[in-house]
Structure 1
Amino acid sequence: MDKNQSSKNIRRPLAFVSTIATNHIHLRNPWVTVWLSALFPGFGQIFLGSYVKGFLLIIWEIVINVESKLNLAILYSFTGQFNLIKETVNIRWLLLYAATFVYAIWDSYRSTVDLNKFAILAQRNHASVVPFKMDALEINYFDKRNPWVAVIWSVFMPGLGHLYTHRLPTGFFVLIWWIAITYFSHLMEGVHYTAIGAFEQVKISVDPQWLLFMPSIYCFSIYDAYVHTVEYNKLFEYEQAMYLNSMYQSKNFKKPI
């Protein structure tokens, strides 16, 4: 394979590098993507690098969940207030939820199995990778990053860990949604009242319908940032090894058996 060949012309590419992100296929556990999709529809697709499908599923989840008051129903069921569930849930919206929820789980599993096959084939074919991309607006390049730094930034603010690894679509999408959910849930007021010991005021000010979105987004942001930092480090090593092999490894060199 010509070392100058663009990744666009490779039949089974291992990665696509643009100025805003690096989309990379690698071996994943399909049950992990199933768990992510069950946690929040769309997360499994984003984890696989299918941004458009993932973003649309997340928007669908938030709209349907808010309009049907599903999170409130879950809260009431956990606290044993079953009589309030019937008064709260909007059936017109709730019945739209099931089919797409199941589809998101099924699609994430199917896509993971298929992409794992393509990842194996791409590595066996020694697919080339472009390690540096630059245009008038952005610069993206491979280097070694610390996955725990990505975790720490994600703990401080979901989305920042993805910006650290230069996954700009996921980073800004998660960051914008986190700010919006923080605003609508009145989380900051709850933190303030908790800090001054006004616990009764916390119950009045915080909106649990929006607040219950946060654990899913928080966990996904930390996990996804960590995994992709590790995988990008592996991709950096893979590209470097391919380059050194093509430029400096003699074809006559006898490899030890």
Structure 2
Amino acid sequence: MSQFPHPSLPSSVKEPWLAVNLSLFFPGIGQLYAGKIIRGHSLIITQVGLYALSGWLILSQIGNIFIGELLLITAFALSIWGIFDAYDCAKTANSPSFEKLRTSQKDPWLAVFLSRLVPGAGHLYINRLWFSVLFFTFFVISLLVQLVPILLKSLIFYHVYIASTIRRERNQLPILGMALVSILFSLIISLQIFFIKTHIADTHIIVTNEMKPTLQRGDHVIVDKQIYRFKSPQRGDIVLFSPPEPLQDNHFREAFIQRIIGLPGERVEIQNGRVYINSQPLEENYPQKLSQYSFIPITVPANSYFVLGDNRNHSYDSEDWGFLPRPNILGKVTKRFFPPQRIGIVSS
């Protein structure tokens, strides 16, 4: 069976599975390719709006995380619909004769789509079994090396296209451009995620019951990493922090989550289960277990904080290892997004 292009095919024909592949980059692009300009731009604007609003609702301290997650699910569902719609838009733009020709053969753009979903699946579709096994194995192994999966996945779907027996394009520029854009797009997304996780917000899984009942083992929380660029940590804030030196000496490496009790320059003590700040009892409006121990008055050094777990008698905190240096604070815990029954703002 020979390869295309066919000089008899008009340049106006649209490849439905190419439209699908374009929609994987961002919903609406496939519709633009199919000639549905208003539809494509409307879908792009809607998706951007949904992502922006859901991100704000989830990450901001005053946003409703439940509504934010619903909008995020809506955006995902709309993107799935956009894939099917892009296919239909491209298909309806073609003549019946071209559609009959297209569906009678192995579609190279379908092979590309399958390879983007599962590396090796596209080669299996075009009956290249050994390439399928080889590329799938290489991809699984490459997951151990950063950035390699991105490059390898683009190489795989580029190869599956040029390995297809039937190709309708007059040159390889479309698939080459898609492979390069895929690499660039993936790198940009990876850099954005890295920037957000490092400077704006990150997630953390609670692995102990030191903050029980406020936070329980298995809770997934959002940590605001930019809040303390604009203001100092406050009493009552639940903070994520890297282990101070005394903990590192004991081979603690994972980040801790505890509540700020004493501020720089304050005198902290614990008597009869109550916390005293500068000899005055601390009003704690959040659930906590009263301490079954006493702690002699001690002054918090400058640029340091005194932190305790809400589960006072089962928490490894400042009462055990000392003060928390300000540079060790990574961010403030603001919201819980999992499990579903515990979604909401974390009390301060």
Q: TM-score, normalised by structure 1?
A: 0.31
Name whichever structure is richer in strand by fraction.
Answer: 2
Name whichever structure is richer in helix by fraction.
Answer: 1
**Largest Rg, 1 or 2:** 2
